[in-house]
Amino acid sequence: MSKHQSKYSTIHYESYLKLQELLSIQNLRSEAVGDPAHEETLFIIVHQVYELWFKQVIHEMTSVINMFSSDSVDEKNIGTAIGRLDRIVQIQKLLIEQIRVMETMTPMDFLEFRNYLFPASGFQSFQFRQIEVMMGLQEDKRLTYNNYHYASVFDDKKKAILEATQAGNTLFGVIEGWLERTPFLNFGEFDFLSQYRDAVSKMLKTESTAISDSTYLSETEKEQRLKMLAGTDSYFDNVFDEDKHKAEQEAGHLRLSYKATIAALLINLYRDEPILHNPFRMLMTLIDIDELFTMWRYRHAQMVMRMLGRKMGTGGSSGFDYLQATASKHQVFRDLHNISTLLIPRSDLPVLPDNIKKELGFYFSEQSK
Amino acid sequence: MSKHQSKYSTIHYESYLKLQELLSIQNLRSEAVGDPAHEETLFIIVHQVYELWFKQVIHEMTSVINMFSSDSVDEKNIGTAIGRLDRIVQIQKLLIEQIRVMETMTPMDFLEFRNYLFPASGFQSFQFRQIEVMMGLQEDKRLTYNNYHYASVFDDKKKAILEATQAGNTLFGVIEGWLERTPFLNFGEFDFLSQYRDAVSKMLKTESTAISDSTYLSETEKEQRLKMLAGTDSYFDNVFDEDKHKAEQEAGHLRLSYKATIAALLINLYRDEPILHNPFRMLMTLIDIDELFTMWRYRHAQMVMRMLGRKMGTGGSSGFDYLQATASKHQVFRDLHNISTLLIPRSDLPVLPDNIKKELGFYFSEQSK
Amino acid sequence: MSKHQSKYSTIHYESYLKLQELLSIQNLRSEAVGDPAHEETLFIIVHQVYELWFKQVIHEMTSVINMFSSDSVDEKNIGTAIGRLDRIVQIQKLLIEQIRVMETMTPMDFLEFRNYLFPASGFQSFQFRQIEVMMGLQEDKRLTYNNYHYASVFDDKKKAILEATQAGNTLFGVIEGWLERTPFLNFGEFDFLSQYRDAVSKMLKTESTAISDSTYLSETEKEQRLKMLAGTDSYFDNVFDEDKHKAEQEAGHLRLSYKATIAALLINLYRDEPILHNPFRMLMTLIDIDELFTMWRYRHAQMVMRMLGRKMGTGGSSGFDYLQATASKHQVFRDLHNISTLLIPRSDLPVLPDNIKKELGFYFSEQSK
Amino acid sequence: MSKHQSKYSTIHYESYLKLQELLSIQNLRSEAVGDPAHEETLFIIVHQVYELWFKQVIHEMTSVINMFSSDSVDEKNIGTAIGRLDRIVQIQKLLIEQIRVMETMTPMDFLEFRNYLFPASGFQSFQFRQIEVMMGLQEDKRLTYNNYHYASVFDDKKKAILEATQAGNTLFGVIEGWLERTPFLNFGEFDFLSQYRDAVSKMLKTESTAISDSTYLSETEKEQRLKMLAGTDSYFDNVFDEDKHKAEQEAGHLRLSYKATIAALLINLYRDEPILHNPFRMLMTLIDIDELFTMWRYRHAQMVMRMLGRKMGTGGSSGFDYLQATASKHQVFRDLHNISTLLIPRSDLPVLPDNIKKELGFYFSEQSK
């Protein structure tokens, strides 16, 4: 057979997708023990679909981590990376919506075969743990699961893979590195930070004047609001003082390095400059991914509540409480999210000097004028 | 090992879900021919997820057809059947939303590995054909696919299964039978049809008066609208005249039997009576399923358009045109849908005699007063 | 002009919907102060749409409360009530999805006109407070808003309305009353509770055996799980002992009365009995409404985080923190939700005696056999 | 009062949003004629919400048309324009999902007050007509409405506005102009078209070889597919021959000018080049808008079918048929959509010469290396 023929040899939908294998691995435990439960098919298929999507998420996440692992990220790659991260976003939306399908199973139908699943549990999904580790979830931020290490349910080979993933490049790590390397951090003569500090002061001053001059608020209310406003100052302190930022990092309140934080702030502030469009979309997509995993954990918890109430899960965990708690805790890109606190009105943005503006624009459009 | 132990023997998430098998059957053709394409993984996984959901749909549809195949459908079963059909609805919504994930693949990325898939095609999904046949899609209503019989892409064993399914009980068939058997068709002394005819006349009369008396419409407009209104009469004719209905059936304009149509009309009109709640929800869910398959075909066509434009699909079909055309043609429960045309204002509904009302209510609530 | 003519006098879409009025009340503050901001239009319209939907929610909630306020709720009304509550559910889904539209506004664009809105705030939405009070949110469960009473932002007339609503019938109140009155609480000779207690014991025993017999778990794990399992006992205690239930109520851990709780449990357990279909759907819909308001608050908090970060809201609140906190606290039907904890496998359900089964079935279907 | 005070004078949520006005314009016709219908409130509010969103769509569309009306579109504006068009996309998704809320009204409840609405009709929505005209829907492409001009339901002032909008800049028009002006159409020495022609030939040759060499297809099938494949040639002809393109335009098969079509093709083919990211997203967003209006009309038709069946609408139209028909006909950016047909595998893309590549990259990233 010629090489050519092997290349375009014919293939059938069924063999291509390995449907015979795929459709023969829904083996009901309830059937095996002679007590078949109609709903167990749904239970298996829902979880198999989850695992297929997890494989896809890992495929995309791996490729993005690899792209960003080198010292110089090709500009073109950013577009591709955003596309792949956005695919993760679309898959996450499906993962969330899929819960509705699971919720068509009634608690009492679930209880019919639940005992046969023991002690299998969604907490044993190796791929989901891989995703968490690849994202950059830190071990000391993890909620423990029945006081055991989250990896204790896996065999040694799998444990080793998780450890290696954790030790290697994570999405958080490569994004932090990429931000630290952004060339536009170098402003030459232009002292960005001092101008930004002025803009922040102006914004806070406007607000305090508005409070003081208000004919609507009582004196007590004014006082209280001015006090709150003063409190927001502290959010900006870390930006103006690298040492404070480091202290916050050491205290575990912040994770992202100072340099990467400043880069992320600049990308947010000057997101309208053509060269920053894609970096900005990249940061937004990472926040989306974080938020959607949070949402998924939250909806998952709601579903467990409907199904089991506060009963113990098959894996021995207090399912609802664990999921509810991880929803808000297991976020990775919280520091990117918090950049919003540091934004100022567009009209107060320090005006970039022409030479920088030119660098941030497209060479082409400059030329063509 | 005791029987007890075998029943509650322990099981791990991974072995329960056959994850090793599941996650090892994404074999890229592009890789096999030495030209690996990153996006082919998505292509395979998206289709495998579809097929898993199709298996679930078949599982539910089979169970509902079986429940309704007997002469007497247990009242309790209707609730269960609605639950299972509603599960199909929720799965269909996922099938539609899943297209968004596929659309994250760009046409040019798809073209990279498309040739290696040849002549595999979604038209070769056996499970989807099974679903269509189980729904009750009639062979003579099918659009041909490149002028070939839709089953020509399958081997003899599969063809035989499709033929047997078609010859056996379909969802359309068992629902029609169930409607024909509904006991509340028997009204005794109460002449429902003549009272309904009066109500229809009243409704049409009110409308024509409103047109004639309008100070807003021109004479030409009035004339035109009155003509249109007169035209709606014909929709009601088949209800009042079984022979006309049969003629329409023979002409292929209608499919549902006269008796079943009247039952469906009654269920729609008196849906507020407790005993008709579930039958009504049943009919609505069937219409939902029909509409959602239509929507899925439609979105599928849009996606093919984005991916290939009007290029030929890998299966050799004019993908977009075929899908677009089937969207509206391959509906099964159109006659149930058309019942809406026959509805009248609630206040004009013929009042049921007490003895019938009592039969339609709950024995319990009557007793407890 | 005859009465008839006035009834069907002609009307134009524009005058019917008062479009002239509707489309002339988007008055930009930024424009008024001579500093027009393109995005303020979106801000106004998004909030006006919210308020229109709130009006609709109040319309439906009022009608359902009225229906259930009488001592005997007509069976037919339950169907209507479910329909109206389900409409609230569909509106809530829109409220949540609408946040995506708001999120198309960038933080920096928002900051452009935010100062002009001061101190207006979403916390001043009177209709939303009405909804909360109508639902049955108790004043002492409310999180305070800057340490002020939630109604402090309203004038006396509005405060009086809120107080009257709180003092009158709420959704929680009328549902509790309806549950307490359910006739099927009376089982005659049949001692439901003792049989249910046996089923619970059996379920817990099966589970503990499965733990003890496991060849997979270590001794420490077994011990831990058995301890957790023993802990679940307590969830059932309140059901078996009215006094314990009352103590929990007094301690503020439970709100729903003992009688209503037992009724809700029965409805959940015997939901397949035809007469309980609608009561069960009613309870599910109430849980849906509760969960969707939670989800809305949660998404709202996420949006505020994107827009303002941890800045103070225009109303002077720490917007994100307040919304995040209310998301899980301001639930009203938590006790209905917790019923899931009390469910047992369908096959262990105490078998109802024939006379009760007959009462729970449809008179009609009994007769027709 | 100082200028300052007027600027930050205090404002309440209620007065800012004109809630008193907003919430007092839901006047039920059924109430006015003494026959109040609970569901009419929903009907009014749903339509008012639609009109508020239409106002927002017009606001965004106007601003984008203005931005693109000048001869030179600022690069920064493209990002802003995409943001605003994407806002339209998000609103359209809401418009579609909102139909679910309307569908909670039963046909029989609608019929209760439908006669009082006569002859008001959604076809009288002036804002929706404005949107269609602003999009660039051509008058001769419109389906007639009861054989009357679509604007016949409006007064002279409104008719004049629609005519002026049609005569002025439309979204289609300014986008066509912008595409025609794209500087990257000028390739200097590089003969794009001849290289592209080679790539197309290669793609078609690969496909025909795959068909001929297939061991799976019968001779008849091969013949048929090769014939179909030959047919796709014609799609490319217009690109290679400006005269053919013009002939197609004159025949009404195409609308977009030759120059703009080539620009759109280039943007699609070289979308990975940084400078083309935003132009590509712009084209995709326009296709999204087109598709979502199609989807909205389609779902709207489904909803009318549920509500009225094939009854005449209050506006005198055959509602379902009209909406169903406009769904696919009233598309404006069909030519952009059809570009997909012209795409080729990424690996066959003519390689751009270095000087052009440099122009398409970011000056900055080139410099910094």
**CA C101, CA D98: separation in Å to the nearest integer?**
14
Whether B148 contacts B154, CB under 8 Å: no
- Chains in contact with A, where contact means 3 or more Cβ–Cβ distances below 8 Å, are B, C, D
Q: Is B100 on the interface with D (CB under 8 A)?
A: no
String of DSSP letters for C298-314: HHHHHHHHHHHTTSPPT
Q: Is B369 on the interface with A (CB under 8 A)?
A: no
Q: How far is C22 from chain A (nearest CA, A)?
A: 28
**CA D262, CA B27: separation in Å to the nearest integer?**
38
pLDDT, tens digit (0-9, with 9 covering 90-100), for C166-184: 899 999 999 999 999 887 6
Put simply, the answer to whether D118 touches B228 (Cβ < 8 Å) is no
- Among C8, C23, C45, beta carbon nearest to D115: C8
Q: Which has the closest alpha carbon to B200: B222, B229, B228, B242? A: B229
pLDDT at B308: 82
**CA A95, CA B39: separation in Å to the nearest integer?**
20
Put simply, the answer to whether D209 touches A278 (Cβ < 8 Å) is no
- Among D79, D213, D364, beta carbon nearest to A360: D364
pLDDT at B147: 60
Whether C100 contacts D90, CB under 8 Å: yes
Instruction: Count CA atoms closer than 13 A to B23's CA, side-chain side.
Output: 21
pLDDT: is B125 or A222 the higher one?
A: B125
**CA C88, CA C62: separation in Å to the nearest integer?**
12
Q: Identify the closest residue of chain D to A273 by CA–CA distance.
A: D76
List alpha helices for chain C, DSSP H: 3-7, 13-16, 19-22, 29-32, 40-69, 75-102, 107-114, 126-135, 156-167, 171-181, 192-213, 219-240, 242-250, 258-269, 274-308, 319-329, 334-337, 354-360, 363-368
**CA C369, CA B28: separation in Å to the nearest integer?**
60
pLDDT at A318: 56
Which domains are seen in chain A, by residue range? Answer: 3-27+35-112+123-190+241-367 (1.20.58.480)
ipTM of the complex: 0.90
Max mean pLDDT range (A83-92, A307-316, C262-271): A83-92
- List of chain B residues whose C-beta atoms are within 8 Å of the C-beta of residue C5: 213, 215
Put simply, the answer to whether B53 touches A38 (Cβ < 8 Å) is no
Whether C287 contacts C336, CB under 8 Å: yes
Put simply, the answer to whether B310 touches D211 (Cβ < 8 Å) is no
> Residue D5 above 50 pLDDT?
no
pLDDT at D134: 97
Which residues of chain B fall below pLDDT 50? 1-6, 363-369
CA dihedral sign, ordered B232, B238, B244, B246: positive
- Among C232, C271, C337, beta carbon nearest to A312: C232
> Residue C231 above 80 pLDDT?
no
Put simply, the answer to whether A221 touches C346 (Cβ < 8 Å) is no
Q: How far is C185 from chain A (nearest CA, A)?
A: 21
Q: Is B199 on the interface with D (CB under 8 A)?
A: no
Q: Identify the closest residue of chain D to C106 by CA–CA distance.
A: D83
String of DSSP letters for C248-316: HHHTTS--S-HHHHHHHHHHHHTTTSHHHHHHHHHHHHHHHHHHHHHHHHHHHHHHHHHHHTTSPPTTS
Q: Give the pLDDT band of residue D329 (cuts 50, 70, 90).
A: confident
Max mean pLDDT range (A84-88, C329-333, D165-169, D236-240): A84-88
Q: Identify the closest residue of chain C to A301 by CA–CA distance.
A: C291
Whether B179 contacts B259, CB under 8 Å: yes
Q: Give the pLDDT band of residue D94 (cuts 50, 70, 90).
A: very high
Q: How far apart are the first and last CA of chain D?
A: 58
- The 8-class DSSP code of residue D318 comes to -
Q: Is B305 on the interface with D (CB under 8 A)?
A: yes
Mean pLDDT, residues D152-164 taken together: 88
Q: Is A343 on the interface with B (CB under 8 A)?
A: no
pLDDT, tens digit (0-9, with 9 covering 90-100), for A347-360: 888 888 877 777 77
pLDDT at C317: 53
Q: Identify the closest residue of chain A to B103 by CA–CA distance.
A: A87
pLDDT at C2: 38
Judge residue D150's burial from the number of C-beta atoms within 10 Å of its C-beta, 0-12 exposed, 13-18 middle, 19 or more buried: middle
pLDDT, tens digit (0-9, with 9 covering 90-100), for B100-146: 999 999 888 898 888 777 666 777 889 999 999 999 998 777 766 65
**CA C114, CA A204: separation in Å to the nearest integer?**
12
pLDDT, tens digit (0-9, with 9 covering 90-100), for D102-138: 999 988 889 888 877 766 677 788 999 999 999 999 8
Q: How far apart are the first and last CA of chain A?
A: 58
> Residue A76 above 70 pLDDT?
yes
What six digits make up the tokens of B81? 């059947």
Residues 27-86 of C with CB under 8 A from D: 27, 29, 33, 38, 41-42, 44-45, 47-49, 51-53, 55-56, 59, 63, 83, 86
**CA D201, CA D203: separation in Å to the nearest integer?**
5
pLDDT at A184: 66
- The 8-class DSSP code of residue B145 comes to B
Max mean pLDDT range (A309-313, C301-305, D22-26): D22-26
- Chains in contact with D, where contact means 3 or more Cβ–Cβ distances below 8 Å, are A, B, C
pLDDT, tens digit (0-9, with 9 covering 90-100), for D220-259: 778 877 887 777 777 788 888 999 999 999 998 899 999 9
> Residue A146 above 70 pLDDT?
no
Q: Is B152 on the interface with A (CB under 8 A)?
A: no
> Residue D363 above 70 pLDDT?
no
**CA D292, CA D99: separation in Å to the nearest integer?**
13
Percent with pLDDT over 70 in chain A: 87
Put simply, the answer to whether C341 touches A308 (Cβ < 8 Å) is yes
pLDDT, tens digit (0-9, with 9 covering 90-100), for D264-319: 999 999 988 878 888 999 999 999 999 999 889 888 888 888 888 877 655 555 56
Put simply, the answer to whether A274 touches D273 (Cβ < 8 Å) is no
**CA A46, CA A56: separation in Å to the nearest integer?**
16
Q: Identify the closest residue of chain A to C217 by CA–CA distance.
A: A119
Q: How far is D130 from chain B (nearest CA, A)?
A: 23
Put simply, the answer to whether B340 touches D119 (Cβ < 8 Å) is no
**CA C311, CA D53: separation in Å to the nearest integer?**
29
Q: Max Cα separation, chain A?
A: 90
Q: Give the pLDDT band of residue D161 (cuts 50, 70, 90).
A: very high
pLDDT: is A316 or D280 the higher one?
A: D280
Put simply, the answer to whether A344 touches C318 (Cβ < 8 Å) is no
Q: How far is A196 from chain D (nearest CA, A)?
A: 22
Q: How far is C354 from chain B (nearest CA, A)?
A: 13
Residues 80-99 of A with CB under 8 A from B: 83, 86-87, 90-91, 93-94, 97-98
Mean pLDDT, residues C101-126 taken together: 83
Q: Give the pLDDT band of residue C153 (cuts 50, 70, 90).
A: confident
Q: Give the pLDDT band of residue C348 (cuts 50, 70, 90).
A: confident
- List of chain D residues whose C-beta atoms are within 8 Å of the C-beta of residue B338: 309-310
Q: Give the pLDDT band of residue C314 (cuts 50, 70, 90).
A: low
Residues 233-292 of A with CB under 8 A from C: 235, 268-269, 271, 287, 291
Tell me which residue has tokens 């999009």: D135
Q: Which residues contact A70 (CB under 8 A, 6 or more apart)?
A: none
Q: Give the pLDDT band of residue D3 (cuts 50, 70, 90).
A: very low
> Residue A369 above 60 pLDDT?
no
For residue C145, the SS3 value is strand
pLDDT at B192: 83
Residues 156-175 of D with CB under 8 A from B: none
Find which of C21, C89, C101, C161 to mutate to test the D interface (most D CBs within 10 Å of its CB).
C101
pLDDT at B144: 63
pLDDT at B171: 97
Put simply, the answer to whether D115 touches B207 (Cβ < 8 Å) is yes
Q: What is the CA radius of gyration of chain B?
A: 26
pLDDT at D9: 55
Counting every residue written for chain D, the total comes to 369
Q: Is D20 on the interface with C (CB under 8 A)?
A: no
Put simply, the answer to whether D217 touches B339 (Cβ < 8 Å) is no
pLDDT at B331: 86
> Residue C365 above 60 pLDDT?
no
- List of chain B residues whose C-beta atoms are within 8 Å of the C-beta of residue C188: none
Put simply, the answer to whether B364 touches C364 (Cβ < 8 Å) is no
**CA D114, CA D39: separation in Å to the nearest integer?**
11
Give the lowest-confidence range in A194-198, A245-249, D274-278: D274-278
pLDDT at B332: 93
